[in-house]
Structure 1
């Protein structure tokens, strides 16, 4: 009966497009269920019928309990709550600083997506009237334009580029209170790029993203068919599932099946397939020049994953590794190396 219900559930998920069952980590699932079943069989060997009933009940309670915890956990990490609001979710990222705090003039634009959804951006003009182009900046998970994007924007400004700093939906001055860790955010990237002409953004258009922002950029290129002149990917991740696993491994907590359950329930709650959210695959559709910036001490993304992503990029590409940096905003770790890497990459675009 349970098997039939499971098959029906998988069919419905596949038919509605919410989740492709074939992209689930079936090897890990099979090992987990198989080892659990064998363990329970050995535990119940020689037990009386009453004891076996209690064993089954205990298994059901444990199964429901673990999934309930995973459901709440997935909800918490994909939702933001405002100050003073009593609800599940992480604190909503705000813009505690503005460009004038760093001596930069700016103009705020609210770009309407629908009647009740919008993106807030800051447009910072270049130092000189003869701008070299425009850099569009997208934050990482839990970041906002005021919290994360001002230091790199200042360097781009010094290099005489206009910059457009973007809050994804759910953070800062934009609408909403949820995140999909780069999946829906790719639509935000596409929307802003398509507004370039209306905003009078001077080409070439360069997209810069941090962590989750890199995933949104890569997916927008691969699936939304945007065509920026170049992209800069800082601290990218290769696969969402691996990114979740690495967070648990970093604190010595069992990554399996915790990671799989979080991705599964997060996918159902937000209506996308997290198991297929893999920037390393999106990279195969990228033909424009790409600069990848990575901290060698990043405990959340292995260098082998970065190298795999780099190999899949089809255009001109360059990797710059910051030897002492972890998963940190790299311009704040070594501004001189960061600025030099950016400047050399941008100069190469004009040759």
Structure 2
């Protein structure tokens, strides 16, 4: 075999390998951003898997059934439908038990979750005297669709919810959703946005690029940018990220019609002027300290931050209930 033939074979092998990597990345990106209509549980978090399970996950992709809601909260809620560019959204609206509402907190869940996962947080906001609106983002729970873009198109949902609340407050003071407090006073129109992970990134993009102006934000563990998030997931499995992480981001964006490398909360933060509380767990394998530092440094308005020691990508109130409540209460007292 002459030198030219060997070079041709090597080139053919490289092209086949590159095509195979792209095919695998395309498949994984589709499974990651599209929920199935089949019952079952989502694949466990990568950091919880053994070596054999990680290999199987890399070969077959994640199981990704559409997230479902659990039971309704223990407090009374009204189910409402909100029009979004992504399709109708389902939400639960609830008022505080008594007194004049200080405003409304709209709650947005994370990836592969639903509004029922935020009932504890909503319950605390109610005890502080706020109306609450728990939202199933598009593709999740009882909202339309089976697709997620991990914060990009979900920003349209945030904007739709914000505008729905603004229109609600602009209507007659006798609106059954607004209600009246014990003193007959109508709820005030303060709108606070609360988001977890994907929901937090969607809030940032909605403010930076879609022009909404909430009273304040409370953001738990937003990731810095989509590329870093992909690399973090590979790192959690102790698998090299290059080049598959970049291919996943590329194909995920192509499949869903946007430039996924531009999904960047660190950049969005430079356009955020509303008072913002940023919360993060120091043991979070999916969101690094560097990402959190960059987001916080870039926030353009009044800001506060609190880190929860030893906590991962999980609700902070479960391990630090009193501390979490103190941070929320103190921030809202300053931001009202």
User: What's the TM-score bracket when you normalise by the shorter of the two chains?
Assistant: 0.7 to 0.9
**Conserved? CA contact 2:83–2:160, under 8 Å:** no
Which residue number corresponds to residue 105 of structure 1? 76
What secondary structure sits across from 1:178 in the alignment? Answer: coil
Separation in structure 2 between the aligned mates of residue 322 and residue 152 of structure 1, nearest angstrom? 16
Separation in structure 2 between the aligned mates of residue 278 and residue 269 of structure 1, nearest angstrom? 18
Separation in structure 2 between the aligned mates of residue 128 and residue 263 of structure 1, nearest angstrom? 47
Change (3 A) 1:225 1:346: same
Task: Please tell me whether Structure 1 or Structure 2 has the larger radius of gyration of its CA atoms.
Answer: 1
Change (3 A) 1:47 1:140: farther
Which residue number corresponds to residue 110 of structure 2? 140
Question: Which deviations, in whole Å up to 9, do the C-alpha atoms of 1:79-136 show, x marking residues without a partner?
Answer: 0012259x9961110102211xxx211000012336x920100002112131121100
Separation in structure 2 between the aligned mates of residue 345 and residue 130 of structure 1, nearest angstrom? 19
Q: Out of 131, 134, 144, which is 2:101 matched to?
A: 131
Q: Out of 93, 104, 118, which is 1:149 matched to?
A: 118
Which residue number corresponds to residue 68 of structure 2? 94
Q: Out of 270, 279, 286, which is 1:293 matched to?
A: 279
Which residue number corresponds to residue 55 of structure 1? 10
Separation in structure 2 between the aligned mates of residue 151 and residue 213 of structure 1, nearest angstrom? 16
Structure 1: 4+ residue segments shifted above 6 A = none
Which residue number corresponds to residue 231 of structure 1? 217
Q: Out of 76, 80, 84, which is 2:31 matched to?
A: 76
**Number of positions where the alignment pairs a residue of Structure 1 with one of Structure 2:** 299
**Conserved? CA contact 1:298–1:326, under 8 Å:** yes
Q: Are residue 348 (structure 1) and residue 334 (structure 2) matched? A: yes
What secondary structure sits across from 1:90 in the alignment? Answer: coil
What TM-score, normalized by structure 2, do the two folds share? 0.85
Which residue number corresponds to residue 230 of structure 2? 244
Query: How far off is 1:176 after superposition?
Result: 0.6
**Conserved? CA contact 1:285–1:314, under 8 Å:** yes
Question: Which deviations, in whole Å up to 9, do the C-alpha atoms of 1:50-78 show, x marking residues without a partner?
Answer: 33332222112111111000000000000
Structure 1: gaps spanning 5 or more residues = 1-45
Separation in structure 1 between the aligned mates of residue 147 and residue 62 of structure 2, nearest angstrom? 11
Alignment of 1:192-207 (within 5 A): 192-200=161-169, 202-207=188-193
What secondary structure sits across from 2:214 in the alignment? Answer: coil
RMSD of aligned Cα (Å) = 1.9
Query: How far off is 1:262 after superposition?
Result: 0.2
Query: How far off is 1:155 after superposition?
Result: 1.2
Which residue number corresponds to residue 221 of structure 1? 207
Q: Are residue 326 (structure 1) and residue 312 (structure 2) matched? A: yes
Question: Which deviations, in whole Å up to 9, do the C-alpha atoms of 1:273-311 show, x marking residues without a partner?
Answer: 111110110111111110001101111122122111111
Question: Which deviations, in whole Å up to 9, do the C-alpha atoms of 1:30-62 show, x marking residues without a partner?
Answer: xxxxxxxxxxxxxxxx96333333222211211
What secondary structure sits across from 2:84 in the alignment? Answer: strand
Alignment of 1:23-38 (within 5 A): none
Structure 2: gaps spanning 5 or more residues = 41-60, 170-177, 179-187
Separation in structure 2 between the aligned mates of residue 59 and residue 82 of structure 1, nearest angstrom? 37
